[in-house]
Each structure stands twice: as structure tokens, then as C-alpha cells.
């Protein structure tokens, strides 16, 4: 049987057989991804006219990350070995920026007048598999990975004051966080040394640098911020990503919600009756 004779029904039957074998949804999805690649190549080579629709099982996103508590955040800041380490941690936890975005932040991206940080570029080092730095360099700057990642993050009063103080004593150009000779910092090296040392000294258990981003998102949700606002601040590609990661923090029951609806509709009448 040629590839053109394969119908959508047969693909769905094959998918059902895979699921019946008690394979994980992730394994089934990987197999179907491979099948999709084969069909896509066949279309490119004109063996097929159209790409068959292959329905793939949804793999639930695992909750990754740990949200630090206020005392743990303060402990990290207090145990930072240098002022720069402290400011990097503070910026991460008060902006939720990805590591590459944080170390790619330039002073021109800091808008003190309007209290926002602009995420416009990310710093990647050669240990990234897809990175192709210029000859002789260990790093490269790239635009963020998606349109949603190109964003504005509201600048908190505390962070604004700390960054302004650093600005007054810095080169006032180039990267906000850089080495003594003005070159980009190695994010991986910072995480393994300075950040890990602060975590150990603060005695807060295991914590990853990415947990600072997760902490920011969790705090915004727990403070009652609109989920769309959180999505934009985090730079998630869709609202569904935000819900997948932080949905468990959203309140599913509010005892006073029904009463508020009554007040919204009938408030004036009820007050008059009273």
C-alpha cells in the first residue's frame, strides 16, 4: 500500500493501538511526531499532495519550579557575596525575566521615567546547542524567542531605586550586568557559583535560578493580578501556558463571589429597602 492510500481513519486506528499498549502519552506523541515528519518529507518530495492530519495526545505539563517565600528571598539577598550578585537576584525575583533575558539587559532597556524594563534581547553562550556565536566569541545576542517575549515589565519602586543607584556608579551604557572589563557575564557560571553559594548560605534547601522566575509568577497570581497581565509580564507565548504553570494557584471557590454579584445587580434596591 502506497503512502497516498493511508487515510486519516487508519492513522487514528494506529494512534488508538499505541495508547492501548499502555505507552505513556509522551511516548505516543513522540512516535506520532516522527510519523508527521515522515509525511512532511513526503509532501516536500511530492510523494503526497497533502499532509495528513494526525491528532496527538495532549501531554499534561509538569509543574516545574519552586516558589520561594518572602523570608527565603530575603535570606538569599542577605547572603549574596557581592552587591552585584544581590542585585542580579533582586532583579530576577522582581521581574520574572528568563536568565538569558536578564543577562542580556542593557541600560538603554531600563526606562526610569516610565518605570518599565524593555525585554529586547537575550544573551546566549556557546553551551546552548542552537547557538552559533561569531568566530572567536563564546556568546551571542539574539532577539527573544517569541513575539510575546518582546515585552515591557513594570519596574517596582524597590528595584527602580536599586538600579538607579547602580546606574549612577556604572558606565551608563552597555549591559546592566557585566564583567569588570565590560564583557557579558557567563550566566551558567553565575548560577553554579555565586547563586549556589547564596542558596547554601541562606539555608533554604534546593533552589534553582529559574525558581526566581517561578517565584515572581506565583507572587503575582497570589496577589490577585489578572491572569492576562501575568502572561504579558512573564512573556508566555499564550494564556494557556500561564494557566498550565500557575493554574493551581488560582482560587476555584470564593464564598463571597455570589454575594458580590447580588450587590452588583441589586445593590441600590437592597439599600433602598434597608
* 145, pLDDT greater than 80: no
Which has the higher per-residue pLDDT, 41 or 210?
210
Give the DSSP per-residue string, 218-247: HHHHHTT--HHHHHHHHT-SSHHHHHHHHG
Per-residue pLDDT at 24: 74
pTM: 0.71
Average pLDDT score over residue span 166-190: 89
Extents of the domains making up the chain: 3-44, 70-249
Share of the chain above pLDDT 90, in %: 48
Question: Rounded mean pLDDT of the chain?
Answer: 84
* CA dist., res. 203 & res. 38, Å (int): 51
Query: What SS3 state is found at 19?
Result: helix
Tell me: the pLDDT tens digits for 223-266?
889 999 999 999 998 888 898 888 878 765 566 767 776 776 77
Confidence of residue 270 (pLDDT cuts 50, 70, 90): low
Q: Which residues contact 144 (CB under 8 A, 6 or more apart)?
A: 101, 119, 120, 121, 122, 150, 235
Per-residue pLDDT at 33: 80
For residue 70, count CB atoms less than 10 angstroms from its CB and return exposed for 0-12, middle for 13-18, buried for 19 or more: exposed
CATH of the structural domain 70-249, one choice from 1.10.443.10, 3.50.50.60, 1.10.260.40, 1.20.1430.10: 1.10.443.10
Which has the higher per-residue pLDDT, 273 or 153?
153
Tell me: the pLDDT tens digits for 42-67?
777 777 777 676 776 665 555 567 89
* b/e burial code for range 169-192 (CB count within 10 A of at least 16 → b): eeeeeebbbbeeeeebbbbeebee
Which has the higher per-residue pLDDT, 210 or 145?
210
Query: What SS3 state is found at 51?
Result: coil
Which has the higher per-residue pLDDT, 256 or 80?
80
Per-residue pLDDT at 118: 97
Confidence of residue 107 (pLDDT cuts 50, 70, 90): very high
Do residues 260 and 243 lie in contact, with contact meaning Cβ atoms separated by under 8 Å?
no
Lookup: cell for 269: 434596591
Amino acid at each position: 500500500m502506497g503512502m497516498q492510500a493511508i487515510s486519516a481513519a487508519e492513522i487514528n486506528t494506529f494512534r488508538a493501538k499505541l495508547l492501548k499498549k499502555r505507552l505513556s502519552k509522551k511516548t505516543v506523541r513522540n512516535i506520532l511526531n516522527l510519523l508527521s515528519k515522515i509525511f512532511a518529507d513526503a509532501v516536500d518530495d511530492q510523494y503526497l499532495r497533502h499532509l495528513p492530519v494526525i491528532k496527538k495526545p495532549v501531554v499534561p505539563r509538569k509543574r516545574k519550579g519552586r516558589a520561594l517565600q518572602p523570608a527565603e528571598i530575603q535570606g538569599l539577598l542577605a547572603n549574596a557575596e557581592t552587591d552585584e550578585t544581590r542585585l542580579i537576584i533582586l532583579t530576577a525575583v522582581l521581574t520574572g525575566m528568563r536568565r538569558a533575558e536578564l543577562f542580556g539587559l542593557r541600560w538603554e532597556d531600563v526606562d526610569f521615567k516610565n518605570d518599565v524594563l524593555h525585554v529586547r534581547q537575550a544573551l546566549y553562550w556557546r553551551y546552548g546547542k542552537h547557538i552559533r556565536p561569531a568566530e572567536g566569541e563564546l556568546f551571542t545576542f539574539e532577539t527573544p524567542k517569541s513575539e510575546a517575549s518582546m515585552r515591557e515589565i513594570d519596574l517596582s519602586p524597590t528595584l527602580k531605586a536599586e538600579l538607579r543607584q547602580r546606574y549612577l556608579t556604572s558606565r551608563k551604557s552597555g549591559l546592566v550586568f557585566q564583567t569588570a572589563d565590560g564583557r557579558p557575564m557567563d550566566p551558567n557560571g553565575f548560577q553554579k557559583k555565586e547563586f549556589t553559594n547564596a542558596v547554601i548560605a541562606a539555608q533554604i534547601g534546593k533552589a534553582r535560578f529559574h525558581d526566581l522566575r517561578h517565584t515572581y509568577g506565583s507572587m503575582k497570581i497570589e496577589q490577585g493580578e489578572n491572569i492576562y497581565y501575568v502572561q504579558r509580564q512573564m512573556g508566555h507565548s499564550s494564556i494557556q501556558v500561564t494557566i498550565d504553570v500557575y493554574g493551581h494557584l488560582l482560587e476555584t471557590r470564593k464564598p463571597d463571589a455570589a454575594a458580590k454579584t447580588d450587590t452588583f445587580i441589586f445593590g441600590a434596591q437592597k439599600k433602598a429597602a434597608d
